[in-house]
Amino acid sequence: MAQSHDVPMATPLSDRHAALGARMVEFAGWLMPLQYTGILEEHRAVRARAGLFDLSHMGEFFVEGPDAAEGLGRAVTSNPGSLKVGRAQYSMLCFPEGGILDDVIVYRLGVERFMVVANASNSGAVSDALAARLAGLRVVLDDRSLATALVAIQGPRAAAILAPLTDVALEELRFYSIAEGQVAGVPAIVARTGYTGEDGFEIVVDVSAAATIWDALMAAGKDEGVVPVGLGARDTLRLEAGMPLYGNELGRDTSPFEAGLGRVVAFAKEGDFVGRAALAKAEADGPHKKLVGLAIRGRGIARHGYEVFSGDRRVGAITSGTLSPTLGEAIAMAYVTPSEAEPGTIVAVGIRDQRVPAEVVALPFYRRPV
């Protein structure tokens, strides 16, 4: 189980990052690459060609047994039992009060076998919550967060790079699908999921095979222009794609409905689930705040925590902001009062000692070409 320590933990690919000259930082108890050659270059490589990510800090939990579907249905807001084998769904674990404990992806590997991938910062909390919520059922919860490595390849050339290395039929693997097979001669789980807004794959292997997978993808992608990508570009990519980050857009004080993610709450499924009553009330009452996109119309970059104003009235706060490498303009996500959430609304962001105009825009900021 991945937890924060006084000394951050190294991923099984730490020597590869060092050899590539990565700038390393502590993140969620792990020592992770922030950037290699530069955030801008890495970001653009993913949009135009392909990028390789070490995501071994993420939490991986396997839930198996006759009651696996029912148990996960109690634990998360979505309906894992509705998944066909080989499919995945975005979901959340909520607190009884309706706030978000973590956002996760649930994959159905078999009729009675699931994998849940959680954020590194919350893997301990997710492990504890799953153990409590599955108690008394005919299931085995296997926390393999420290036993598995997760490597992602993302971008328009991702499939072309991965295909020669795997026996998984990538052309048959739809978005939010998963299959078990081999990559570079080692057992692997391959999912067509990602956090960049591009096509791509996330590959789960035993920690002992992490370097094999990394080296094979780097070699196979050499002529395709693949580059290693750190946390910096991962953040700018997900922000352009309008994807929430736990601790910024999501947290204990936010409901899925406020985050614009009410679709992940399956009230129609059979049985109760943690947070159901509070979430039903939240849906009925309507949101107190709404997550919106902002296009900054003046000079400056809106950063996490900056205040948002309508006239002299404070109406919200920035959750994430950057200068978009793809769009060439400053963008941000923010929570604002519902009256200011309509696209086209003009607000102002407090940037240093200035009130900089910003326009509410629909999310995402970027969609990959079809």
User: 209-242: per-residue pLDDT in tens?
Assistant: 999 999 999 999 999 999 999 999 999 999 999 9
Summarised one tens digit per residue, pLDDT across range 178-203 is 999 999 999 999 999 999 999 999 99
The yes-or-no verdict on residue 5 having pLDDT over 90 is no
> What per-residue confidence (pLDDT) applies to 6?
74
Residue 253, φ and ψ in degrees, nearest 5: -95, 15
> What per-residue confidence (pLDDT) applies to 3?
46
> What per-residue confidence (pLDDT) applies to 2?
41
What CA–CA distance (Å, rounded) separates 143 from 93? 16
Beta bridge pairs of residue 112: none
| Non-local CB neighbours of 262 within 8 Å, separated by 6+ positions | 256, 283
What CA–CA distance (Å, rounded) separates 206 from 74? 29
For 10, the 3-state DSSP assignment is: strand
Contact at 8 Å (CB) between 211 and 249? Answer: no
Q: Choose among 108, 101, 117, 123: nearest CA to 68.
A: 108
Whether omega for the bond prior to residue 364 falls within 30 degrees of 0, making it cis, is yes
- Cα-to-chain-centroid distance, residue 191: 14
What CA–CA distance (Å, rounded) separates 306 from 349? 7
What CA–CA distance (Å, rounded) separates 365 from 21? 31
Give the count of alpha carbons within 13 A of 16, CB side only: 21
The mean-pLDDT minimum among 4-8, 34-38, 136-140, 326-330 falls in 4-8
What would the DSSP string read from start to end of 18-86?
Answer: HHTTPEEEEETTEEEEEESS-HHHHHHHHHHS-EEEE-TTSEEEEEESTTHHHHHHHHSSS-GGGPPTT
The yes-or-no verdict on residue 243 having pLDDT over 50 is yes
Instruction: Please state whether beta strands 100-110 and 113-118 pair in parallel, antiparallel, or not at all (unpaired).
Output: antiparallel
> What per-residue confidence (pLDDT) applies to 171?
97
- Cα-to-chain-centroid distance, residue 275: 22
Summarised one tens digit per residue, pLDDT across range 105-116 is 999 999 999 999
Structure tokens at 271: 């049985």
What pLDDT band is residue 370 in, cutting at 50, 70 and 90? confident
Percent of the chain beyond pLDDT 90?
Answer: 98
Residue 352, exposed/middle/buried by CB under 10 A (0-12, 13-18, 19+)? exposed
> What per-residue confidence (pLDDT) applies to 186?
98
Summarised one tens digit per residue, pLDDT across range 255-288 is 999 999 999 999 999 999 999 999 999 999 999 9
Give the mean pLDDT of 360-369. Answer: 96
Sorted by where each starts, the structural domains of the chain and their CATH numbers stand as: 9-58+146-240 (3.30.1360.120), 60-143 (3.30.70.1400)
Beta bridge pairs of residue 360: 294
Beta bridge pairs of residue 25: 32
